[in-house]
Amino acid sequence: MSDLAVYDMDRTVTRRATYTPFLLHCAVRRAPWRLLLLPIVILSMLAYVTRLIDRGKLKEINHHLLLGATIHPHDLKPLVESFADKQVTTNIRPGARQALARDMAEGRRLVLATASYRLYADAIAERLGFDDVIGTLSVIGLDERLHSKIAGENAYGEAKMRMIADWVEKSGLKGVHGHVRFYSDHVSDQPSFEWSDEPVTVNPHGKLRRLAEQRGWAIEDWG
């Protein structure tokens, strides 16, 4: 039986969000002219705020604008590696490192469950010692190029919980895994908090802090 420790990534393990910084990192190094498209990126963010588009469509639009409609994995790899190195060096919460060390010492299976794209989350997870990654996938075309379209669901909120449940089943852990500890900073992860045996809210604000206080969930400050 394997106990699990499941972590959200952005603003839980990391201090800051990673998606837009990843796209900017790629644009600067691969095609600086794409920075001229930033006004359109801002317009897409406004469209999301006003609920004209959802988070998944926002990601696809910004991916298309700053990284391109398609990219070959060979060309993407050095961008991913340099970005992951930078994040692990500058953007990891001290408390996250301590929690990972504790969960690893307890023999837990470490799982990163993030709405971020696996195309770069995998590299960050590998550097931090995670065993498995659940995240948003990208379409891979018949041309073997990675496209700006999301494959399946954007791993956010209830969709993330569905993807965790699917991972549990495909990993042969359904009904046999042990204690589950779940960490996140955001109220959108309420379904995953409620599924876990030990919900741990990390630097929570607003709705999540109030929910944690009502439910008696742990509240931790990871710096």
Q: Identify the pLDDT of residue 1.
A: 73
Quote the pTM value: 0.95
| Mean pLDDT within 4-28 | 97
Q: Show the domains of the chain with their CATH numbers.
A: 4-220 (3.40.50.1000)
What pLDDT does 172 receive?
93
**What pLDDT is stored for residue 175 in this prediction?**
87
131 pLDDT above the threshold of 90: yes
pLDDT at 8 over 90: yes
Instruction: For 200-210, write each residue's pLDDT tens digit.
Output: 999 999 999 99
- pLDDT higher than 80, residue 117: yes
The predicted-structure confidence for 55-86, as pLDDT tens digits, reads as follows 999 999 999 999 999 999 999 999 999 999 99
pLDDT the model gives residue 93: 98
Res 142: pLDDT = 87
Mean pLDDT taken over the chain? 97
For position 145, what pLDDT does the model report? 95
Q: How many angstroms separate the Cα of 51 from the Cα of each of 19, 150, 206? A: 19, 19, 21
Give percent above pLDDT 90 in the chain.
97
The per-residue pLDDT for range 140-158, each reduced to its tens digit, is 998 899 999 999 999 999 9
Task: Output the pLDDT for position 65.
Answer: 98
Report pLDDT for 24. 98
> What is the per-residue pLDDT across 166-222, written as a single tens digit (0 to 9) for each?
999 999 998 889 999 999 999 999 999 999 999 999 999 999 999 999 999 999 999
